[in-house]
Structure 1
């Protein structure tokens, strides 16, 4: 039986171990982002999201109060299953509920097409962040 995929708002304190496990697996272990760049003070204030298959968390994202969406991470075995889009849609919906008609993010260049499908547009030249090529992207809600 296939487990249901779902996304929920996470609690930074209560869900901390799962949020950290996913981000460490993707950003620190897979992409070699230094831990001191991965963890920041924004985590305390952000709205976090957890994507799960059944009860097992497999993806995360966060939304800052200014409409910045970031730390979008899906465990390797689950990529291509629609989880990333589910996380992004949850973050966009939460931003819009908060009256944030402009959402923005810093995307890894290889992922720009994914974000474009969600309505984001590239608004910068390519630049390196943690040694990985990125671009800034913006989305405006209707």
Structure 2
């Protein structure tokens, strides 16, 4: 049985591990240098913010989501647990809290953009660069009608 809870301070290391597993499985487009630089930022950031965690029956985190002011900044599922509906469960939880939730997805991550569109998100625009000014185009998405 999977449930959702807010993160605790001792979840930071596992959140970073989830992020690394997910990135290694889905973000092959990152250069090694960018992957390393982003990893350093994530290690500083993730343990400091409140995350929604999907946990198993033993309270072991399988995935996480970070929402800031109705914008889902992060959704990552450990690669060992992909395809089990855990990401969709977290997104539904986020939508219950923020019915007009927005998110961004890397254009090169076709699996993610397909996932969000199947969940009911619509494209609202795009950017040539990611949030840190790197050459990884973003697709901007919003849930529901607008």
Give the C-alpha shift of residue 123 in structure 1.
1.2
2:18 aligns with 22
1:57 and 2:61 matched: yes
* Distance of aligned partners of 1:15 and 1:24 in 2 relative to their CA distance in 1, 3 Å threshold: same
Runs of 4+ in 1 over 6 A off after TM superposition: none
Counterpart-to-counterpart distance in 1, 2:135 and 2:63:
23
Gaps of 5+ in 2: none
Give the C-alpha shift of residue 18 in structure 1.
1.8
* Distance of aligned partners of 1:91 and 1:141 in 2 relative to their CA distance in 1, 3 Å threshold: farther
TM-score, normalising length from structure 1?
0.73
Do the aligned residues in 2 keep the contact of 1:5 with 1:53 (CA within 8 Å)? yes
* Distance of aligned partners of 1:123 and 1:42 in 2 relative to their CA distance in 1, 3 Å threshold: farther
1:138 and 2:142 matched: yes
Note the aligned Cα RMSD (angstroms).
2.7
Do the aligned residues in 2 keep the contact of 1:62 with 1:91 (CA within 8 Å)? no
Give the C-alpha shift of residue 125 in structure 1.
3.1
Give the C-alpha shift of residue 128 in structure 1.
4.5
* Distance of aligned partners of 1:141 and 1:43 in 2 relative to their CA distance in 1, 3 Å threshold: farther
2:87 aligns with 84
- How many residues in Structure 1 have an aligned counterpart in Structure 2? 130
Do the aligned residues in 1 keep the contact of 2:15 with 2:47 (CA within 8 Å)? no
1:8 aligns with 5
* Distance of aligned partners of 1:53 and 1:42 in 2 relative to their CA distance in 1, 3 Å threshold: closer
More strand by share: 1
More helix by share: 2
Counterpart-to-counterpart distance in 2, 1:125 and 1:106:
9
Do the aligned residues in 2 keep the contact of 1:23 with 1:71 (CA within 8 Å)? no
Do the aligned residues in 2 keep the contact of 1:74 with 1:84 (CA within 8 Å)? yes
Counterpart-to-counterpart distance in 2, 1:89 and 1:47:
18
Gaps of 5+ in 1: 96-100
Counterpart-to-counterpart distance in 2, 1:87 and 1:50:
8
